[in-house]
Amino acid sequence: MRKVLTYGTFDLLHWGHINLLKRAKNLGDYLIVAISTDEFNKLKDKKSYHSYENRKLILESIRYVDEVIPENTWEQKVQDVNKHEVDIFVMGDDWKGKFDFLKDYCEVIYLPRTEGISTTQIKKELLAAVK
């Protein structure tokens, strides 16, 4: 069984997220998604609309996702790859090169982002609509 791992906040879930999860799942047999905890988001100066528990619940209901784990630190990736016996690490190509250190442990693939949609874009448009 080939295991795939990806990371993200997955706040304000949209069709770009679904495309990423579907493409990641198609690379293997079992998809693990690590999502940033609320505490980790604070360390990154990020604020999610949905809590970690609610984002986890949403992701667990998506058919492409087999398991959801917490992301607590930047440094945990090697540990997660080893602990979960991951074969492929997947991230969006806006992170290209940032996770190449994982090539010592598994295959690293950067997938193109879905054009025309992003959580940042949604937040900006919602904020503009309120003003």
The encoded tokens of residue 26 equal 């198609």
Q: Can you list the alpha helix ranges (DSSP code H) found in the chain?
A: 15-25, 38-43, 52-60, 77-83, 119-130
Residue 56: active-site member: no
Of the residues 22, 44, 83, 124, only one is catalytic, namely 44
Q: Which residues of 2-21 are buried (b: 16+ CB within 10 A; e: fewer)?
A: ebbbbbbbbbbbeebbebbb
Residue 103: active-site member: no
Of the residues 22, 42, 46, 124, only one is catalytic, namely 46
User: Whose CA is closest to 52, among 31, 25, 33?
Assistant: 33
- Positions annotated as catalytic residues are 44, 46
